[in-house]
Structure 1
Amino acid sequence: MTSTMLPQTRDAVCECLFVLCNEDATQLTQEVGYGNAIGFLVNRGIAVEPPRGSDANDPNKQINPITGQYVSAEEAAGPSLAEMTDEEKEREAERLFVLFERLKKNGIIQAENPIIAAKQSGRFEEIPDDKSSDDEK
């Protein structure tokens, strides 16, 4: 909505979103944000005041610095670790591993698995899982 390189595409997207919001400027600003919508609305000659008392200006709301989401929104997003089974935790860890590997292959991030790095440096040693020694105790 703020693209300067593609003005026709920008105008088409803005018009489409405005129609989807029933041509209501207040609803458009609520859906896409005031900063994104104001340029389009000014060009159309529609006056809209900035939102007052929004949650974004509330200093008591905590923001997760990793995800950029409000902590209260994250809590409602999915189950906590305590509610997950071991199989679900393992599946989630594998999914995250695959996502990080994709980012690394695309050159977006340069990350190294800390466990593998510790093993290679000799600081970390894997202990074999021997259940027979546990049974003897």
Structure 2
Amino acid sequence: MNMKSQNDLCPTLFLLTKCVRHHRSIRKFLRQRVLPPLTEVHTRPEEGSTLRNKLCRLLTTPFTQVRGLVEEFLFILCKENVMRMVKYTGYGNAAGFLAKRGAMLGGSGNLDSGSGAQYSSDSEDSDTEEYKKYKSQINIMTGCYEKPHPNPMASMSEEQKEYEALELVKKLDQLARDGVVQPCRIGEDGRPEPVGQVLELIEDISQQQPKPTQDDD
């Protein structure tokens, strides 16, 4: 996409976003055209020639104005429902938007950033037989069906698994110290927040594990 394409696209996206925000009939019409019930689950949301495919590709464009308008447009079409947004776009494509909105834990994000649109209580989003058939095998990150993979740790002993886990922690910690990556966790506000060390993430996970009770002994 070049600057001319961006300048041509932004006014259209702005107008469409305004329309779906304030007019239920237009929102319903465009949702049926842009986000019809899923029937193709074997390809990623950004792959293909449909309107949904083209808009999903724009979710990762470097042109921030276009990306922001597409994010808002699709989110309103999804009735500002995070799980529905992820269903149609894949978590990877939507992650940046969800992080900005504070919606990485689900829900609709910060109330202050809501569109103000009024949505009907019915879902109008019945799943197709194709989607139901493969739903349990759809990778939430990529947004498409993936064949089951063999477990690479199936033949490893517990000692080997522990060793490999510790090696992975060491490598991640070194990358963090070198400034290559910044480990984060999801804060209470639904946004990623940096942590000082990778070990803090492990401590968070261990604290979230259910503690055994006397009945479990």
Q: Normalising by the residue count of structure 2, what TM-score does the alignment of the two structures yield?
A: 0.24
Give the number of the structure with larger relative contact order, counting CA–CA contacts within 8 Å between residues 6 or more apart. Answer: 2
Q: Normalising by the residue count of structure 1, what TM-score does the alignment of the two structures yield?
A: 0.37
Tell me which structure has the larger Cα radius of gyration.
1
Higher strand share: 2
Higher helix share: 1
